Amino acid sequence: MDAELRRHAEAARGFMPIDEGQGLYEYASRVAVPGPFLEVGSYCGKSAIYLGAAAAEQHRLLYALDHHRGSEENQVGWEWHEPDLVDPEIGLMDTLPHFRRTVHAAGLENTVVALVGQSAPIATTWETPLSLLFIDGGHGEKPAHDDYEGWTPKLRSGGTLLIHDVFPDPADGGRPPYEIWLRAKEDGFKEVAAIGSLRVLTAP
């Protein structure tokens, strides 16, 4: 990965360990079917740099979807809350300005296209076949399964599915990302790699 982009990715705020971020870049670089990439859950743009670096090299777009209001665990009083990400005018989280700065600083504005809104209704109307799908949005039961059901049918055969925060041991983290990884395997996705909590699969 380009050294400059790697520096930007590592400096960006967010929830993506370096080895898993490198995994995103590496497997995104190997995608062999046509079409854009899409990630669900961008936060401040950290994963979007790793995926965007690969997309830029291949002249693809990365759609980066997030309502930018934070997941349950990012809200006031929860474990992963960052108070300076609250918009004081309205008292709600707003990671969009941070996301935009991250993408701008990395020089990826022509590659990374923000989709600002709720994942499920966007999935319902989405028609462009995807070559790569990264699921890292809401980790509750409903959002995780909705993302799986809404977005995986948009992936081309032979395309790459990446799922973050898959923890086989419940002591390490929540169940839903692990459950959708199990569903993917039942649905015929083939396991390619596991890097930390990141899982890489190929679409049937």
Q: Compare residues 18 and 190 and give the one whose CB is closer to ligand SAH.
A: 18
Asked if 177 interacts with ligand SAH (CB under 6 A), we say no
* Apex 164 CA angle, 160 and 168, nearest 5: 110
Which residue in the set 47, 131, 160, 202 belongs to the binding site for ligand SAH (CB under 6 A)?
47
Residue with tokens 């948009």: 154
Asked if 43 interacts with ligand SAH (CB under 6 A), we say yes
Q: Out of ligand SAH, Mg ion, none, which partner does residue 20 contact, by CB within 5 to 8 A per kind?
A: none
* DSSP tally for the chain: helices H, then strands E: 7, 9
Which residue in the set 40, 165, 180, 181 belongs to the binding site for Mg ion (CB under 5 A)?
165
Tokens of 22: 């490198």
Asked if 51 interacts with ligand SAH (CB under 6 A), we say no
Asked if 159 interacts with ligand SAH (CB under 6 A), we say no
Q: What residue type is assigned to position 81 of the chain?
A: H
Q: What residue type is assigned to position 82 of the chain?
A: E
Nearest distance, CB of residue 157 and ligand SAH, angstroms: 25
Tokens of 119: 């994942």
Nearest distance, CB of residue 190 and ligand SAH, angstroms: 24
Contacts of 192 (CB under 8 A, 6+ apart): 27, 160, 200, 201, 202
Residues 134/47, Cβ–Cβ less than 8 Å: yes
Q: Out of ligand SAH, Mg ion, none, which partner does residue 165 contact, by CB within 5 to 8 A per kind?
A: Mg ion
What x/- string results for residues 123 through 142 when contact with ligand SAH is judged by CB under 6 A?
A: -------------xxx----
Residues 187/157, Cβ–Cβ less than 8 Å: no
Q: Which residues bind ligand SAH (CB under 6 A)?
A: 14-16, 41-43, 46-47, 65-71, 95, 118-119, 136-138, 143
